[in-house]
Structure 1
């Protein structure tokens, strides 16, 4: 299942993100989570991934639980605008704004920890800030 949205999400990304593999992984993973792309989650997410929604004080533990949560999402996203993607070793962050089809906007910053600093490292933890 690619996603459960009826129209394609508009994507706005900063120039220069295509020259660093980890930055592209961050963008791909963020899009994958927002559009319920199972294959992306399976490719980049560690089986023991932990996702923290700090605003809602909610935690999802395990790739299967994350996939189950995404299957239950039905909010249609109109636009994802990414402001910055920052990577350093096994840590990375991505921030921007999500605009839903009803016009509601959510500013976000996700802080990622990978299993290693290597390009092959998988996403082990995400701390998600949403306002």
Structure 2
């Protein structure tokens, strides 16, 4: 999978965590994802029930066909909140995404809540 990310996303720790999370879930690197997520995380993906179990999160992302390219356009962070947008390119389809992320606190780098939008 080709990965394209903003060159400045390592300037702030939370931006780096967001980048690492997005790249890891789409590469299906579950150990790395588990290290980033709080044990009481939740993922809200519209059209899908809220996901609060790690194995269900793995199923959610594993259902995506082979990804040819992951593009992260922008990553933002402020306090305990963050967001990113981009797209995944499949063989015959492009899926645009946006993720809104909440960390445990402004001082902690553990993700507790993810809201996912895909079109």
Same fold (TM over 0.5): yes
CA distance in 1, matches of 2:32, 2:75: 18
Task: State yes or no: 1:34 paired with 2:31.
Answer: no
> Could you list the runs of 5+ residues in structure 1 that have no partner in the other structure?
1-8
Deviation, 1:61, is 1.1
Per-residue CA deviations over 1:19-60 (Å, capped at 9, x if unaligned) read 212111111101111121111111101111111111x24321
Deviation, 1:66, is 1.8
Per-residue CA deviations over 1:55-75 (Å, capped at 9, x if unaligned) read x243211334323544x4351
Per-residue CA deviations over 1:52-109 (Å, capped at 9, x if unaligned) read 111x243211334323544x43511111111100000110001011101x23101100
> Could you list the runs of 5+ residues in structure 2 that have no partner in the other structure?
none
TM-score w.r.t. the length of structure 1 is 0.82
CA distance in 2, matches of 1:38, 1:29: 10
Whether the 8 Å CA contact 1:13–1:83 is kept in 2: the answer is yes
Report how many residues are paired.
119
Aligned match of 1:127: 115
TM-score w.r.t. the length of structure 2 is 0.90
Aligned match of 2:93: 104
